[in-house]
Amino acid sequence: MDLKGQKCFRCEKFRRYYVKGVRNFEPTDCGICLLTKQTVNCEESCSSYLYKKRKPRNIPLLNLALNDLLTQLTEIRKIIEEERNENEEVPKL
């Protein structure tokens, strides 16, 4: 039974399998259905489909974390530049 638009990869109870690649984990074409406890293809569909709700991102917290990281990087850059300037300003005899 192929229900239009109700593919397993869009279901709340579907968890995709991943394999380790060279740099990161790559998604596979299958996963596990948490209702039936069976391996299913991500393009399949069933009558137990549950729409996966999008989780809202907390943008203010992301902005604070990014700002903190940028501040730390700026301080590290300042330290490196000061050390470079100290090494260049060697007094001549």
Token output for 1: 């039974």
Do the strands 14-20 and 25-33 form a parallel or antiparallel pair, or are they unpaired? antiparallel
Tally of residues, the chain: 93
User: How does pLDDT run across 35-49, given as a tens digit for each residue?
Assistant: 889 899 988 888 888
Residue of 84 and 90 predicted with greater confidence: 84
pLDDT at residue 1 above 50?
A: no
What's residue 15's pLDDT?
92
Mean pLDDT of 21-42: 91
Tell me what the mean pLDDT of segment 50-66 comes to: 85
Mean pLDDT of 15-21: 93
> To the nearest whole percent, how much of the chain has pLDDT over 70?
90
Amino acid (1-letter code) at residue 14: F
**Contacts within 8 Å (CB) and 24+ apart, 50-55:** 50/11, 50/12, 50/13, 51/10, 51/11, 51/12, 52/10, 52/11, 52/12, 52/14, 53/12
Instruction: Report the share of the chain in percent with pLDDT over 90.
Output: 44
